A and B are shown apart, each in its own frame.
Chain A
Amino acid sequence: MQTIALIGNPNSGKTTLFNALTGTSAYVGNWPGVTVEKKEGMVGGHTILDLPGIYSLSPYSPEEKLSRRYILDEHPDLIIDVIDATNLERSLYLTTQLAELGRPLLLVLNMEDLLEKEGIKIDTKRLSQMTGSPVVTVSASKGTGIDTLKQAIGQSLEEKHAALCPLFSNVVERYILHIIEDDYLHAIPKERQRRWAAIKLIEEDELFLSSMPPLPEAFSTYLAQVRTELVAHYDDDPEAIIIDQRYKVAEQIAKDCQIRKQKAKSFNFDSIATNRIAAIPLFILIMGAVFYLSIGLVGGYTTPILENLFGYLGQQIVTLSDSLGVYPLLSGILVDGITSGVGAVLSFVPQLFVLFLLLSILEDCGYMARIAFIMDRMMRTLGLSGKSIIPLVIGTGCSVPAIMSSRTIEHQKQRELTVIVTPFIPCGAKMPVFALMLTYFFPGQWYIAPLIYLLGIAAVIVTGLLARAIDKHKETNAFILELPRYQLPTVKNVWLQTKERTLGFIQKAGTIILLSSVIIYLLSSYSFTLQAVDAEASMLAILGRIIAPLFAPLGFGFWQASVALLTGIAAKETIVSTLSVTVGTANLGSFFNPASALSFMTFILLASPCIAAISAMFRELGSKRKLLYALLWQTGFAYVSALLVHYIVLLCI
């Protein structure tokens, strides 16, 4: 078994190709940086790895470091360089670096189907001659050329020809040859990598130098002399000279192999999407439409139907078990535990399905990068980057992928701040909680639901402003982002992603929520001496009363609410199932009033997220101390906000 690495520029379609080759369904989107961790699969009996996209082997962000480290240290048996065929020149720049690693290289020209539309023709035979590597044309999204690619992979793995290195100008080549001959580089085992090492020595690549034994003094002096001479000759620093040389090679190859016709400019969506006046209102409108369609329209219609259905089902089970004389404990678990608990959560499947569907269309069409572009200026005043908006939008579906997508933000402080504020945006799982409270206490008051989202956004803004105020350095970093082509979302991609997210939600209902419903039912029906008792004397009530006083100032200092909040740590939907088991959705009014209902929702909106999101936060923050601060901030912020909401509403009523 051999190892194959898929590498290429961000958004060149590596993951789509990975899915086409392995028959799996990893997550794909249309903005640079969707893949932030490596993924493994099998093709033709070999391991294949999908790595985060990079523009160059010099890394800037954590996920790019992962790709570089893998490619340099793990010596894959074959490197597949995935090239966006409509973006040949810049892709070949990375190719010139990959070719020097001494591994077999296979070039895959992806997005073949777009070439004609873009007015581009590529001579693949010539490309193969000039690069010295086999070239295969595919369209990963349409699934064409995949069989040819599989054959080419097999052949490359068998032949094991190391790729040919690109040649630079005579001046640079002369120095490279001299350096290669030095004894110092003979310590490096493989012939081809010596050239790569020589180039790294000219560039003074720090990561490379730290991995090598110290330079002998004479050699070090010689290298310094080489650099001085190069600088004098090219009037630029050595690193820039090498980049320039690589791009010259890429330009030459692109010039010889591709014909680009000028496209006629036609009307496009982008002229509105990034229009100076219309862009931000349009963004708000689009997000508003997403929520209106999913929560308002579909949710408003299907949720009551499903709730009634589960209610009816519960009654049927009661009647059936009574007539069969089923043991009351069992029928209790079935009806008050499972049917009401799980049912309360499952009623939200249709609207979440629509929400996930619309979000994945947004992600697939290329609009996300534009949102980052139009919102960057605003986000900067909050100490965030335009790229922070992508996690916030994805966070309306689920915080876990949202937190992970923050990894493309290069600047560490901005990245960490994004991770901390992302959970403030209410995810799909919090929706059932809000819907439950809103339909009971504020029927017909449609404006409260958007207010919840605005409150989440306000929490992001306040946190951002505060973080910026206490940050003494006020450093700003670079914001450089590729704007990908718009594309029609493919049915396959959108469907795969929507299905996966919806099934994930249903799966949670069938596992965590099912289990916790049963446990909550049992704990709320029995005392510590295992006597069947009234809920008020149950184990759960006694446990809940320990922490309940904490929440008394917020207006919900009764044990049912405390227990619901605790179970919410497992998954936020559990709050609904716990409340429906302990309180009963029809009795909410005897526990909450409008003021405490609002403060309860505020607390849930802002307090620390579910365990899955907490562990995603931990992964991205990378330290327990930072995680602890983040959770304390979120929960503290939630407590104070809920307190304010409670008293403001009490005063107003």
Chain B
Amino acid sequence: MQMTMDELTVGQRGAVKAIHAPKQLKRRLMDMGFTKGVAIEVVKLAPMGDPIEVSVRGYHLCLRRAEARKIELR
């Protein structure tokens, strides 16, 4: 079963397995620290459940569910 980052609920953790996104978006996400094996935690959801706030490499960033869906977890 494939699990993607948008499936996590608040407080759940995971580790990145792969990013399935077009070249530029993939590069962007990786530049922000989403590389293979990195630990992530979903910290919060925005008022309408989208975007989501994620903690990665000791800092927080937000991204939309559409982007989170492209990050596969293991």
Chain A interfacial positions (CB closer than 8 Å to B): 55-56, 58, 60, 86-90, 93, 236-237, 239-240, 243-244, 247, 260, 274-277, 279-280, 372-374, 376-378, 386, 476, 478-483
Docked-complex contact A55 and B31, CB < 8 angstroms: yes
CA distance A412 to B14 in the complex (A): 33
List residues of chain A with CB within 8 A of the CB of B47.
274-277, 279-280, 374, 377
Q: A244 contacts which chain B residues (CB < 8 A)?
A: 30, 35-36
Specify the chain B residue showing the minimal Cβ separation from A54: B31
Cross-chain contact A376 with B50 (CB below 8 angstroms): yes
- Does A93 contact B48, Cβ atoms closer than 8 Å? no
Q: Write the chain A residue with the least CB distance to B63.
A: A480
Bound complex: CA A479 to CA B46 (Å) = 13
Per-position contact with A for B19-36: 1 when CB-CB < 8 Å, else 0?
100011111111111011
From A94, which residue of chain B is reached at the shortest CB distance? B31
Q: Take A93-B33, A480-B29 as given contacts and tell me if A377 and B50 are in contact as well, using a CB distance cutoff of 8 Å.
A: yes
List chain A residues, Cβ under 8 A from B46: 274, 276, 279, 373-374, 376-377
Determine whether the beta carbon of A243 is less than 8 Å from that of B59. Answer: no
The 8 Å CB contact of A478, one of B18, B28, B35, is B28
- Are A481 and B33 CB-contacts (below 8 A) given A376-B51, A377-B51? no
B3 contacts the other chain (CB 8 A): no
**Are A274 and B64 closer than 8 Å at their CB atoms?**
no
- B23 contacts across to A, CB distance below 8 A: 237, 239
Q: Is B61 in contact with A478, judged by CB distance below 8 angstroms?
A: no
Taking the complex as formed, is B8 at the interface, i.e. its CB lies under 8 A from any CB of chain A? no
Asked if A247 meets B32 with Cβ closer than 8 Å, knowing A376-B51, A478-B64, A479-B62, the reply is: no
B side interface size, CB within 8 A: 35
Which one of B35, B61, B67 lies within 8 Å of A482 (CB-CB)?
B61
- Find chain A residues with CB under 8 A from B32 CB: 55, 90, 480, 482
Using A58-B31, A373-B51 as known contacts, say yes or no to A89 and B64 having CB atoms under 8 A apart: no
Distance in angstroms between the alpha carbons of A376 and B49 in the assembled complex:
11
Interchain CB contact (< 8 A) of B63 among A58, A237, A279, A478? A478
Report Cα–Cα, A456/B22, bound state, in Å. Answer: 37
> Are A89 and B58 in contact, with the CB atoms below 8 A?
yes
B27 contacts A243, C-beta separation under 8 Å: yes
Which residue from chain B places its CB closest to the CB of A481 in the assembled complex? B62
> Are A373 and B25 CB-contacts (below 8 A) given A274-B53, A386-B51?
no
Are B58 and A260 in contact, with the CB atoms below 8 A?
Answer: yes
Tell whether, in the assembled complex, residue A479 and residue B60 are in contact, meaning their CB atoms are under 8 Å apart: no
Q: Which chain B residue shows the least CB distance to A240?
A: B30
| A476-B59 in contact (CB<8A) | no
For A281, the closest partner residue in chain B by CB is: B47
Of the A-B pairs whose beta carbons lie under 8 Å apart in the complex, a sample of 10, sorted by A's number, is: A55-B32, A60-B24, A86-B58, A89-B57, A93-B33, A276-B46, A276-B47, A373-B46, A376-B51, A476-B66
Q: How far is the CB of A516 from chain B (nearest CB, A)?
A: 46
> How far apart are the CA atoms of A540 and B19 in the complex, in Å?
66
Given A276-B45, A276-B47, A483-B61, 16 further pairs, Cβ under 8 A = A56-B31, A86-B58, A243-B30, A260-B58, A274-B47, A274-B53, A279-B47, A280-B47, A373-B62, A377-B47, A377-B51, A478-B67, A479-B64, A480-B28, A480-B67, A483-B62
Q: Are A478 and B25 in contact (CB under 8 A)?
A: yes
Residue of A nearest to B56 (CB): A90
Chain A residues in 8 Å Cβ range of B66: 476
The CA of A237 and the CA of B24, in the complex, are separated in Å by 12
Cα(A372)–Cα(B18), bound, Å? 27
Q: Nearest Cβ in chain A — how far from B64, in angstroms?
A: 5
Give min CB distance, B4 to chain A, whole Å: 16
Q: CA of A237 to CA of B45 in the docked complex: distance in angstroms?
A: 31
A479 touches B67 (CB 8 A): yes
B13 within 8 A of A: no
| A373: chain B residues within 8 A (beta carbon) | 46, 51, 53, 62
Chain A: minimal CB distance from B74 (Å):
13
In the bound complex, how far is the Cα of B39 from the Cα of A35, in angstroms?
31
A-B pairs, top 8 by smallest CB distance, nearest first, are: A56-B31, A377-B48, A243-B30, A483-B60, A247-B35, A373-B62, A482-B61, A89-B57
A274 to B35 alpha-carbon distance, docked (Å): 27
**For residue B50, which residue of chain A has the nearest CB?**
A377
Contact partners of B18 in chain A: CB under 8 A: 236
Closest to B48 in A: A377
Query: With A373-B53, A480-B63, A482-B60 as given contacts, are A243 and B31 in contact (CB-CB < 8 Å)?
Result: yes
In whole Å, how far is B35's beta carbon from the nearest beta carbon of chain A? 5
State in angstroms the CA–CA spacing of A377 and B32 once bound together. Answer: 22
**Complex CA distance for A21 and B50, rounded to whole angstroms:** 41
